[in-house]
Structure 1
């Protein structure tokens, strides 16, 4: 199974290996280790992406003529059997993730608008959305509305298939912090996670995905 996990965090104030989003991606890969023949994590902090300018040239090329970094990510998504997007709550989602979604939406919509039978190159790929933020359980419903639902709405246009966690959580899952402690000598609070509990929730979400690879396109 070819799995791609996109870590959408922008935070570079700590060492790259300390990213919560990257750590969640690694946990997904660990949980899927027996099913993988190819797994890759894309850390968007290391990618130089450009916003869509609406030039329309992607209608002809099916790629962005201005953004090689986006095209490389898009090609990897196309070749994937499963895609996971791990996003912190910003305003509401990180800027680089927005750039990727808007370009994929543009490529798909321009063709769909001409022919409503059009199927994108990523049509039907099972996709998971995992959000997280600085709040505990009380904040999760707001993360769903602002992060999961926002991403899911874009993925619907792109024609990726979002896998629900439950009837209530129909756009993926959200992962809370255990504690967030303000530190007088630091700008950002220290966030601590219950990684054992989060792994159990991630494993439960992964169990909702179809077992067979190659059934997405």
Structure 2
């Protein structure tokens, strides 16, 4: 089985120190430790893809690919080889722009395919996705609910509309998990950047996301 861990961050300055990328690596480590079968994990950072916006030309109906965007096609083909995904999304904007462009293009491909063939079925039909949102607010009940309602849930609703199946980590937050910073001392002024240095509580993050990862492995294994 093959699983993709997608970092939706577009913060090139952070490079591999990006929280989203580091969480993807954490997910990979959890999978390799917890899985009872051989699983290949591919980490995909959207910052590495120069994706273009959809112009709604409809040309994708013929083969399900974008005639104007080979980088998107490369990403799409990679995602079509996996049996499940984990999506790690930072909240530095409502939803990061590259992720929105991917949603827009997959929606257009699905719609164009259905218009051309009423029996069309998305290649992502019923694919399991675990969603993890994070941001720079203190990790308390009110802020976690904010991330869930304003980041995780809109992404989950979009994915459901595109035929994906959302992994539910618990009964309280059914669309995914979220985390913030341990406290206000975790934001420190940087000497080398206009952006502050962010100190994450990695043990807390692992504890928060681990149930979602394990449930995702179970669901993905059941449908392979």
TM-score, normalising length from structure 1?
0.90
Q: C-alpha separation between the residues in 1 aligned to 2:120 and 2:195?
A: 46
Question: 1:194 deviation in Å?
Answer: 1.4
Deviation readout 1:147-186 (Å, 9 max, x if unpaired):
1112112211211111112222111110111233242755
Counterpart of 1:193 (choices 195, 200, 205) is 200
CA RMSD across the alignment: 2.1
Q: Distance in 2 between matches of 1:146 and 1:105?
A: 21
Query: Which consecutive unaligned segments of at least 5 residues does structure 2 have?
Result: none
Partner in structure 2 of residue 81 of structure 1: 83
Aligned equivalents of 2:86 and 2:220: distance in 1?
15
- Contact kept in structure 1, 2:128 and 2:220, CA below 8 Å: no
Q: Count residues in correspondence.
A: 216
Query: Where do 5+ consecutive residues of structure 1 fail to align?
Result: none
Instruction: Check whether the contact 1:178–1:191 (CA below 8 A) recurs between aligned residues.
Output: no
Q: Distance in 2 between matches of 1:182 and 1:192?
A: 8
Match of residue 144, structure 1, among 142, 145, 148: 148
2:169–2:175: 8 Å Cα contact kept in structure 1? yes
Q: 1:63 to 1:214 in 2, by over 3 A?
A: farther
CA, structure 1 residues 207+6, in 2 after alignment: closer, same or farther (shift >3 Å)? Answer: same
In the superposition, the TM-score normalised over structure 2's length comes to: 0.87
CA contact (8 A) 2:61 2:116 kept: no
| 2:129–2:167 contact (8 Å) kept in structure 1 | yes
Distance change >3 Å, CA 77–CA 216, structure 1 → 2: farther
Deviation at 1:207, TM superposition (A): 2.3
